[in-house]
Amino acid sequence: MVLVRFEHGGRVRRCDARCYNGESSRCTCVCGGINHGVGIQRALENSREALGLPEPGQASLEDWVRSLLARANKKDKAELRQLLRTLGGGR
**Domain regions of the chain by residue span:** 4-87
Query: Is residue 55 within 8 Å of 61, Cβ to Cβ?
Result: yes
Q: What is the pLDDT of residues 47-66, one digit of tens each?
A: 888 777 666 555 566 677 77
Q: How many CB atoms lie within 10 A of CB 17?
A: 15
Of residues 91 and 31, the one with the higher pLDDT is 31
Query: Is residue 19 within 8 Å of 27, Cβ to Cβ?
Result: yes
d(CA 78, CA 69): 9
Q: What is the pLDDT of residues 62-82, one digit of tens each?
A: 677 777 777 777 777 777 777
Average pLDDT over residues 17-44: 90
Average pLDDT over residues 15-43: 90
